[in-house]
Amino acid sequence: MEIEDVRGREGRWQRLRASTHEAHEQLDKAIMASEPFADRDRYGCFLRMQYILHRDVDALYLDPVLGGLLPDLADRRRLGLIEKDFEDLGLALPSPEKAPLFGASADVPRAAGWLYVVEGSNLGAAFLLKGVAKIGLSENNGARHLAGHPDGRGLHWRRFTAAIDGLEFGEVEDERMLQGADEAFARVREIAQEVFA
């Protein structure tokens, strides 16, 4: 798939980024203030946050409609890698009190907004890997879900954002997508407050 260079115009994904910029900044600051890489116990809290979030959205990665619109969606799933990270650290998987937020089918625009947030988090994971290295973990042990794609994080992200830009959404669908992204950031804040409390 040829990746269109969208730097010269504002695409849908750039509108998503602009719309969620403040929420993203606040979330990053809150998580880093919780010192998730201070030691393995704090990292265990971070890992629980990741598990709950990825459990919430895992069904989206297997949704056939979404899979037909977004490239390699099923291959982007990270829940299994997070479970392996728990195993590496000898930790039991959390037992979430709630069912996952998404089931067998989802509202496509809203789901696209959620996926934008979740996939975007992987783009910044290179920075997080530096933090886990300080506590003796790596993309091969305990932080597998933070590993980059073999083709490189940048290209993997550009493939995704090109697909987001190519979605045939009207104004109503775009608004639902923005709503989904806002919901995703709010959900991550909620989970972070729970696990780091």
At residue 8, the pLDDT reads 38
Mean pLDDT by 10 residues, the chain (197 residues): 42 92 94 95 97 95 94 94 98 85 84 95 88 96 94 91 94 95 96 93
At residue 3, the pLDDT reads 38
Query: How many independent structural domains does the chain possess?
Result: 1
In a domain, 59, yes or no: yes
Domain limits for position 45:
36-196
Q: By C-alpha distance, which of 158, 156, 169 is closest to 78?
A: 156
At residue 133, the pLDDT reads 96
In a domain, 19, yes or no: no
CATH, residue 113:
1.20.910.10
Distance from C-alpha of 154 to C-alpha of 164, rounded to nearest angstrom:
15
**In contact, 181 and 173? CB cutoff 8 Å:** no
